[in-house]
Structure 1
Amino acid sequence: MTHRILFVCLGNICRSPTAEAVVRAKAEALGQILVLDSAGTGNWHVGAPPYGPMQDAARARGYDMSDLRARQVSPEDFGLFDLIVAMDAQNLADLTNLAPAKGAAQLRLMTDFVLSPDETHVPDPYFTRDFDGALDLIERCADGLLRQL
Protein backbone atom coordinates (compact mmCIF):
# COMPACT_ATOMS: atom_id res chain seq x y z
CA MET A 1 0.00 0.00 0.00
CA THR A 2 1.28 3.44 -0.92
CA HIS A 3 0.72 6.01 1.81
CA ARG A 4 0.03 9.61 0.83
CA ILE A 5 1.26 12.08 3.48
CA LEU A 6 1.11 15.87 3.60
CA PHE A 7 3.25 17.79 6.11
CA VAL A 8 1.93 21.20 7.21
CA CYS A 9 3.40 24.18 9.02
CA LEU A 10 2.66 27.89 8.98
CA GLY A 11 4.47 29.18 5.88
CA ASN A 12 5.82 25.99 4.27
CA ILE A 13 9.41 27.22 4.18
CA CYS A 14 11.00 25.57 7.24
CA ARG A 15 9.40 22.71 9.14
CA SER A 16 7.05 21.08 6.65
CA PRO A 17 9.43 21.00 3.66
CA THR A 18 12.12 19.66 6.00
CA ALA A 19 9.76 16.92 7.19
CA GLU A 20 8.94 16.08 3.57
CA ALA A 21 12.64 15.86 2.62
CA VAL A 22 13.65 13.86 5.70
CA VAL A 23 10.80 11.36 5.42
CA ARG A 24 11.43 10.98 1.69
CA ALA A 25 15.13 10.19 2.22
CA LYS A 26 14.50 7.82 5.12
CA ALA A 27 11.65 6.04 3.30
CA GLU A 28 13.77 5.58 0.17
CA ALA A 29 16.59 4.11 2.29
CA LEU A 30 14.07 1.61 3.71
CA GLY A 31 12.53 0.82 0.34
CA GLN A 32 9.17 2.28 1.36
CA ILE A 33 7.06 3.84 -1.38
CA LEU A 34 5.33 7.02 -0.23
CA VAL A 35 3.67 9.98 -1.91
CA LEU A 36 4.80 13.05 0.03
CA ASP A 37 4.12 16.77 -0.13
CA SER A 38 4.16 19.77 2.16
CA ALA A 39 2.09 22.94 2.50
CA GLY A 40 1.49 25.89 4.77
CA THR A 41 -1.64 27.14 6.44
CA GLY A 42 -0.68 30.68 5.36
CA ASN A 43 -0.08 32.05 1.89
CA TRP A 44 2.83 34.44 2.56
CA HIS A 45 5.52 32.35 0.87
CA VAL A 46 3.62 30.62 -1.96
CA GLY A 47 6.09 29.78 -4.72
CA ALA A 48 9.17 30.42 -2.56
CA PRO A 49 11.88 27.84 -1.92
CA PRO A 50 12.54 26.61 1.62
CA TYR A 51 14.23 29.16 3.86
CA GLY A 52 17.99 29.35 3.17
CA PRO A 53 19.27 28.60 6.70
CA MET A 54 16.89 25.64 6.95
CA GLN A 55 18.12 24.31 3.60
CA ASP A 56 21.71 24.72 4.79
CA ALA A 57 21.08 22.71 7.97
CA ALA A 58 19.27 19.99 6.01
CA ARG A 59 21.93 19.87 3.28
CA ALA A 60 24.64 19.42 5.94
CA ARG A 61 22.87 16.15 6.89
CA GLY A 62 22.36 14.99 3.32
CA TYR A 63 18.79 16.18 2.71
CA ASP A 64 18.12 18.14 -0.46
CA MET A 65 14.98 20.21 -0.61
CA SER A 66 16.13 22.78 -3.16
CA ASP A 67 13.44 21.71 -5.64
CA LEU A 68 10.55 22.24 -3.20
CA ARG A 69 8.33 25.31 -3.42
CA ALA A 70 5.88 26.61 -0.85
CA ARG A 71 2.17 26.24 -1.37
CA GLN A 72 -0.91 26.75 0.76
CA VAL A 73 -2.96 23.82 1.98
CA SER A 74 -6.31 23.48 0.21
CA PRO A 75 -9.59 21.72 1.00
CA GLU A 76 -8.82 19.27 -1.82
CA ASP A 77 -5.77 18.03 0.11
CA PHE A 78 -8.06 16.30 2.60
CA GLY A 79 -9.20 13.94 -0.15
CA LEU A 80 -5.81 13.52 -1.81
CA PHE A 81 -3.85 12.46 1.28
CA ASP A 82 -4.31 9.62 3.76
CA LEU A 83 -2.48 11.47 6.52
CA ILE A 84 -1.93 15.17 7.13
CA VAL A 85 0.76 15.88 9.71
CA ALA A 86 0.84 19.26 11.46
CA MET A 87 3.97 20.67 13.07
CA ASP A 88 2.17 22.27 16.03
CA ALA A 89 -1.20 22.60 17.74
CA GLN A 90 -2.13 25.85 15.95
CA ASN A 91 -1.48 24.24 12.56
CA LEU A 92 -3.60 21.28 13.65
CA ALA A 93 -6.43 23.60 14.75
CA ASP A 94 -6.25 25.47 11.43
CA LEU A 95 -6.39 22.18 9.54
CA THR A 96 -9.33 20.98 11.61
CA ASN A 97 -11.20 24.18 10.76
CA LEU A 98 -10.36 23.86 7.06
CA ALA A 99 -11.21 20.16 6.77
CA PRO A 100 -14.37 19.40 4.82
CA ALA A 101 -16.98 17.30 6.58
CA LYS A 102 -16.17 14.31 4.36
CA GLY A 103 -12.37 14.66 4.23
CA ALA A 104 -10.75 11.25 4.32
CA ALA A 105 -7.36 12.33 5.64
CA GLN A 106 -6.38 11.56 9.20
CA LEU A 107 -4.94 14.58 11.06
CA ARG A 108 -1.96 14.11 13.41
CA LEU A 109 0.80 16.11 15.04
CA MET A 110 4.36 15.39 13.95
CA THR A 111 5.32 14.85 17.56
CA ASP A 112 2.71 12.09 17.87
CA PHE A 113 5.42 9.89 16.36
CA VAL A 114 7.98 10.31 19.18
CA LEU A 115 7.66 8.85 22.64
CA SER A 116 8.39 11.99 24.65
CA PRO A 117 5.77 13.88 26.65
CA ASP A 118 8.06 16.92 26.64
CA GLU A 119 8.03 17.24 22.85
CA THR A 120 4.56 18.44 21.97
CA HIS A 121 5.38 20.44 18.83
CA VAL A 122 8.16 21.15 16.37
CA PRO A 123 9.39 24.66 17.27
CA ASP A 124 9.53 27.03 14.29
CA PRO A 125 13.21 27.68 13.51
CA TYR A 126 12.26 30.74 11.47
CA PHE A 127 11.63 32.37 14.84
CA THR A 128 13.81 30.33 17.23
CA ARG A 129 16.81 30.23 14.85
CA ASP A 130 17.49 26.67 16.06
CA PHE A 131 17.55 24.94 12.67
CA ASP A 132 19.59 21.99 13.90
CA GLY A 133 17.30 21.46 16.89
CA ALA A 134 14.23 21.44 14.65
CA LEU A 135 15.96 19.01 12.31
CA ASP A 136 16.92 16.71 15.21
CA LEU A 137 13.29 16.49 16.29
CA ILE A 138 11.98 16.07 12.74
CA GLU A 139 14.41 13.19 12.18
CA ARG A 140 13.22 11.42 15.35
CA CYS A 141 9.58 11.98 14.40
CA ALA A 142 10.25 10.72 10.87
CA ASP A 143 11.74 7.50 12.25
CA GLY A 144 8.67 7.01 14.44
CA LEU A 145 6.29 7.75 11.58
CA LEU A 146 8.00 5.27 9.28
CA ARG A 147 7.91 2.58 11.97
CA GLN A 148 4.13 3.06 12.28
CA LEU A 149 3.42 2.73 8.54
Structure 2
Amino acid sequence: MSAALPPPRTPGRYAVGLVCLGNICRSPTADVVLSGKVAEAGLADRVEVGSCGTGGWHVGEPMDPRAAATLSAAGYDPTRHRGRQYDEAWAARFDVVLAMDAANLADLGGRRADGRVMLFGELDPVAPGSEVPDPYYGGADGFEEVLEMVERTSDAIVDALPGLLEPTASTGDDA
Protein backbone atom coordinates (compact mmCIF):
# COMPACT_ATOMS: atom_id res chain seq x y z
CA MET A 1 0.00 0.00 0.00
CA SER A 2 1.61 3.28 -1.04
CA ALA A 3 -0.30 5.59 1.29
CA ALA A 4 -1.12 4.85 4.89
CA LEU A 5 -4.50 4.95 6.56
CA PRO A 6 -4.74 7.64 9.22
CA PRO A 7 -5.00 6.53 12.84
CA PRO A 8 -8.41 5.84 14.36
CA ARG A 9 -10.20 8.61 16.20
CA THR A 10 -11.51 6.06 18.71
CA PRO A 11 -9.03 3.42 19.88
CA GLY A 12 -10.01 -0.09 18.83
CA ARG A 13 -12.56 1.10 16.22
CA TYR A 14 -12.22 2.26 12.62
CA ALA A 15 -14.64 3.78 10.10
CA VAL A 16 -14.10 3.93 6.32
CA GLY A 17 -16.29 6.14 4.12
CA LEU A 18 -16.33 5.56 0.35
CA VAL A 19 -17.47 8.27 -2.06
CA CYS A 20 -18.27 8.45 -5.76
CA LEU A 21 -20.58 10.66 -7.82
CA GLY A 22 -24.03 9.07 -7.53
CA ASN A 23 -23.50 6.19 -5.06
CA ILE A 24 -24.82 3.55 -7.44
CA CYS A 25 -21.67 2.06 -9.03
CA ARG A 26 -18.18 2.50 -7.62
CA SER A 27 -18.60 3.44 -3.97
CA PRO A 28 -21.35 0.88 -3.30
CA THR A 29 -19.20 -1.78 -5.00
CA ALA A 30 -16.35 -0.81 -2.69
CA ASP A 31 -18.72 -0.77 0.29
CA VAL A 32 -20.03 -4.29 -0.40
CA VAL A 33 -16.56 -5.71 -1.10
CA LEU A 34 -14.77 -4.01 1.80
CA SER A 35 -17.60 -4.87 4.22
CA GLY A 36 -17.39 -8.51 3.13
CA LYS A 37 -13.63 -8.64 3.53
CA VAL A 38 -13.82 -6.93 6.93
CA ALA A 39 -16.35 -9.56 8.04
CA GLU A 40 -14.19 -12.41 6.68
CA ALA A 41 -11.26 -11.03 8.69
CA GLY A 42 -13.38 -11.07 11.86
CA LEU A 43 -13.28 -7.28 12.20
CA ALA A 44 -16.93 -6.37 11.55
CA ASP A 45 -17.60 -5.61 15.20
CA ARG A 46 -14.85 -2.96 15.18
CA VAL A 47 -14.84 -1.61 11.62
CA GLU A 48 -17.64 0.42 10.04
CA VAL A 49 -17.87 0.83 6.27
CA GLY A 50 -20.26 3.18 4.49
CA SER A 51 -20.69 4.74 1.07
CA CYS A 52 -22.32 7.80 -0.42
CA GLY A 53 -22.29 10.02 -3.49
CA THR A 54 -21.48 13.68 -3.90
CA GLY A 55 -24.72 14.12 -5.87
CA GLY A 56 -28.22 13.40 -4.63
CA TRP A 57 -29.76 11.97 -7.80
CA HIS A 58 -29.97 8.38 -6.52
CA VAL A 59 -30.71 8.81 -2.81
CA GLY A 60 -32.72 5.82 -1.61
CA GLU A 61 -32.22 3.82 -4.81
CA PRO A 62 -30.54 0.41 -5.12
CA MET A 63 -27.21 0.23 -6.91
CA ASP A 64 -26.93 0.13 -10.69
CA PRO A 65 -28.15 -3.29 -11.90
CA ARG A 66 -24.88 -3.87 -13.79
CA ALA A 67 -22.82 -3.21 -10.65
CA ALA A 68 -25.13 -5.47 -8.66
CA ALA A 69 -24.88 -8.24 -11.27
CA THR A 70 -21.07 -8.02 -11.28
CA LEU A 71 -20.99 -8.27 -7.50
CA SER A 72 -23.49 -11.16 -7.44
CA ALA A 73 -21.49 -13.08 -10.04
CA ALA A 74 -18.42 -12.70 -7.81
CA GLY A 75 -20.27 -14.02 -4.74
CA TYR A 76 -21.15 -10.76 -3.01
CA ASP A 77 -24.61 -9.63 -1.87
CA PRO A 78 -25.44 -6.17 -3.24
CA THR A 79 -29.13 -6.16 -2.26
CA ARG A 80 -28.92 -4.08 0.93
CA HIS A 81 -27.42 -0.97 -0.67
CA ARG A 82 -29.47 2.23 -0.94
CA GLY A 83 -28.00 5.44 -2.29
CA ARG A 84 -26.96 8.18 0.13
CA GLN A 85 -25.54 11.65 -0.35
CA TYR A 86 -22.36 12.98 1.25
CA ASP A 87 -22.58 15.75 3.77
CA GLU A 88 -19.79 17.35 5.75
CA ALA A 89 -20.61 15.24 8.83
CA TRP A 90 -18.99 12.29 7.03
CA ALA A 91 -15.58 13.93 7.33
CA ALA A 92 -15.93 13.96 11.12
CA ARG A 93 -17.70 10.60 11.44
CA PHE A 94 -15.25 8.47 9.46
CA ASP A 95 -11.58 7.93 10.20
CA VAL A 96 -10.90 8.10 6.47
CA VAL A 97 -13.05 9.17 3.52
CA LEU A 98 -11.90 7.65 0.22
CA ALA A 99 -12.95 9.29 -3.04
CA MET A 100 -13.10 7.16 -6.18
CA ASP A 101 -11.65 9.79 -8.53
CA ALA A 102 -10.13 13.28 -8.61
CA ALA A 103 -13.46 14.97 -9.37
CA ASN A 104 -15.05 13.29 -6.34
CA LEU A 105 -12.04 14.32 -4.25
CA ALA A 106 -12.42 17.93 -5.42
CA ASP A 107 -16.13 17.81 -4.56
CA LEU A 108 -15.09 16.79 -1.02
CA GLY A 109 -12.81 19.81 -0.75
CA GLY A 110 -9.62 18.06 -1.82
CA ARG A 111 -7.11 15.89 -0.05
CA ARG A 112 -6.80 16.92 3.57
CA ALA A 113 -3.45 17.44 5.23
CA ASP A 114 -4.43 15.07 8.05
CA GLY A 115 -4.81 12.26 5.48
CA ARG A 116 -8.44 11.65 6.41
CA VAL A 117 -9.74 12.49 2.91
CA MET A 118 -7.89 10.96 -0.04
CA LEU A 119 -8.26 8.93 -3.20
CA PHE A 120 -9.23 5.28 -2.78
CA GLY A 121 -6.54 4.52 -5.36
CA GLU A 122 -3.82 5.88 -3.11
CA LEU A 123 -4.20 2.59 -1.24
CA ASP A 124 -4.12 0.45 -4.41
CA PRO A 125 -1.12 -1.90 -4.13
CA VAL A 126 -0.89 -2.42 -7.92
CA ALA A 127 -1.52 1.09 -9.26
CA PRO A 128 -0.92 3.52 -6.36
CA GLY A 129 -2.63 6.86 -6.90
CA SER A 130 -4.95 5.55 -9.59
CA GLU A 131 -8.53 6.62 -10.02
CA VAL A 132 -11.38 4.13 -10.05
CA PRO A 133 -12.95 4.73 -13.49
CA ASP A 134 -16.68 5.42 -13.65
CA PRO A 135 -18.24 2.45 -15.50
CA TYR A 136 -21.71 4.01 -15.75
CA TYR A 137 -21.62 4.89 -19.47
CA GLY A 138 -19.69 1.80 -20.55
CA GLY A 139 -20.20 -1.93 -20.82
CA ALA A 140 -19.90 -4.85 -18.41
CA ASP A 141 -16.10 -4.90 -18.68
CA GLY A 142 -15.96 -1.53 -16.89
CA PHE A 143 -17.80 -2.96 -13.89
CA GLU A 144 -15.44 -5.93 -13.84
CA GLU A 145 -12.43 -3.59 -13.93
CA VAL A 146 -13.86 -1.63 -11.00
CA LEU A 147 -14.44 -4.84 -9.05
CA GLU A 148 -10.85 -5.98 -9.65
CA MET A 149 -9.44 -2.66 -8.44
CA VAL A 150 -11.77 -2.59 -5.45
CA GLU A 151 -10.97 -6.16 -4.40
CA ARG A 152 -7.20 -5.71 -4.39
CA THR A 153 -7.40 -2.34 -2.65
CA SER A 154 -9.88 -3.67 -0.10
CA ASP A 155 -7.45 -6.52 0.64
CA ALA A 156 -4.72 -3.95 1.31
CA ILE A 157 -7.02 -1.93 3.58
CA VAL A 158 -8.06 -5.03 5.54
CA ASP A 159 -4.41 -6.04 5.89
CA ALA A 160 -3.67 -2.63 7.46
CA LEU A 161 -6.63 -2.56 9.84
CA PRO A 162 -5.39 -4.91 12.60
CA GLY A 163 -2.40 -2.65 13.24
CA LEU A 164 -4.71 0.35 13.55
CA LEU A 165 -7.10 -1.45 15.87
CA GLU A 166 -4.45 -2.65 18.32
CA PRO A 167 -3.73 -0.59 21.40
CA THR A 168 -0.49 1.33 21.21
CA ALA A 169 2.37 -1.15 21.60
CA SER A 170 4.08 -1.04 24.95
CA THR A 171 7.75 -0.28 25.15
CA GLY A 172 8.35 -3.00 27.71
CA ASP A 173 10.65 -5.97 27.23
CA ASP A 174 8.96 -8.74 25.25
CA ALA A 175 11.55 -11.38 26.14
| SS of residue paired to 1:53 | helix
Q: Is the 8 A contact 2:41 2:158 kept in 1?
A: no
Matching residue within 147, 159, 173 for 1:135: 147
Aligned length: 144
Matching residue within 129, 133, 153 for 1:123: 133
Residue of structure 1 equivalent to 2:31: 20
Partner Cα distance (2:30, 2:71) in 1: 10
Q: Is the 8 A contact 2:28 2:81 kept in 1?
A: yes
Q: Does 1:111 align with 2:121?
A: yes
Q: Does 1:62 align with 2:75?
A: yes
CA RMSD of aligned residues (A): 1.8
Residue of structure 2 equivalent to 1:46: 59
Partner Cα distance (2:107, 2:129) in 1: 20
Q: Which structure has the bigger radius of gyration?
A: 2
TM norm structure 1: 0.89
Write the letter of the residue equivalent to 1:48: E
> 1:115: how far off?
2.9
Partner Cα distance (2:72, 2:137) in 1: 20
Residue of structure 2 equivalent to 1:11: 22
Identity of counterpart residues, as a percentage? Answer: 38
Matching residue within 73, 76, 80 for 2:93: 80
TM norm structure 2: 0.77
Q: Does 1:91 align with 2:104?
A: yes
| SS of residue paired to 1:7 | strand
- Alignment gaps of 5+ in structure 1: none
> 1:128: how far off?
2.8
Query: Would the alpha carbon gap of residues 115 and 42 (structure 1) be closer, same or farther in structure 2, given more than 3 Å must change?
Result: same
Q: Deviations over 1:69-124 (max 9, x none)?
A: 00110111111111101100111111126x9xxxx880121111123447610111
Residue of structure 1 equivalent to 2:49: 36
| SS of residue paired to 2:137 | helix
Instruction: Give 1 or 2: higher helix fraction.
Output: 1
| SS of residue paired to 1:127 | coil
Write the letter of the residue equivalent to 2:133: P
Write the letter of the residue equivalent to 1:146: V
